[in-house]
Amino acid sequence: MYKNQWQLATESALYSDGERYAPFRLAFEKIGESEITPLKKVLVLGAGLGSVIQILSKKYQCNAQYSLVEIDKQILSWSEVLLGQMQIQDIKGYNEDAYAFLINDKSQYDLICIDIFIDREVPQKFLTPKFFNHIKSHLSPNGFWIMNYMFKQADKLAELQNNIATQFKNPLSIQKRENIIFYGKNDLGIKKTN
């Protein structure tokens, strides 16, 4: 508990920080309230303690159907309990690998948030063109996607940007310390900002 909100952290990484969780808070601010509030279906890959859903629900009064995918059963349970205590409704948790979920799921979403880490690393399978193809196939025609990534090597970052570009034109990005948050709208050529 820190400043009245639950955090999920290790010695080297912060996975969840209530409504303060900067990567998604910053991306939502850039996308804007008029786009966020009316969302109907949201997919969150990597639960943490539900920070993404807390921000959407509390700050933007977004009353979407939330699908929360988390490979760690205990973390998913904590997230569901915490969100339930906050009276956040319409949440469906899935205790499975996010990649496997995307392969088997047939739904489309207005927003897909990707926050998958092992320590400070995003597993390689979530950085490939095939993964971004799965993301695109699950987005509604005007759906948004957001991905939190931690920058370590310039060549790896360039490879990731190229892989994203195989499916999404001109993704936007925000840098906050070592985090780079990529985001964009399905099939729209959005110009890059700093």
> Is residue 23 within 8 Å of 148, Cβ to Cβ?
yes
pLDDT digits (tens, 9 = 90+) for 63-110: 999 999 999 999 899 999 989 988 888 999 999 999 999 999 999 999
Q: Specify which residues 176 forms β-bridges with.
A: 179
The continuous run of DSSP H or E covering 172 comes out as strand 172-176
> What are the chain's domains?
7-185 (3.40.50.150)
> Is residue 140 within 8 Å of 107, Cβ to Cβ?
no
pLDDT digits (tens, 9 = 90+) for 139-184: 998 899 999 998 776 678 888 999 999 999 878 999 888 889 999 8
Give the angle 149-152-155 at the CA atoms, nearest 5°: 100
The model's pTM: 0.86
CA distances from 13 to 74, 76, 118, 150 (A): 18, 18, 9, 10
* Closest CA relative to residue 99, chosen from 66, 138, 64: 138
Percent of the chain with pLDDT over 90: 55
Which three-class secondary structure string do you get for 139-150? EEEEEEEEEEEE
Query: Rounded to whole angstroms, how far apart are CA atoms 68 and 94?
Result: 6
Residue 190 has pLDDT above 50, yes or no: no
Give the pLDDT of residue 8: 57
Terminal C-alpha separation, the chain: 33
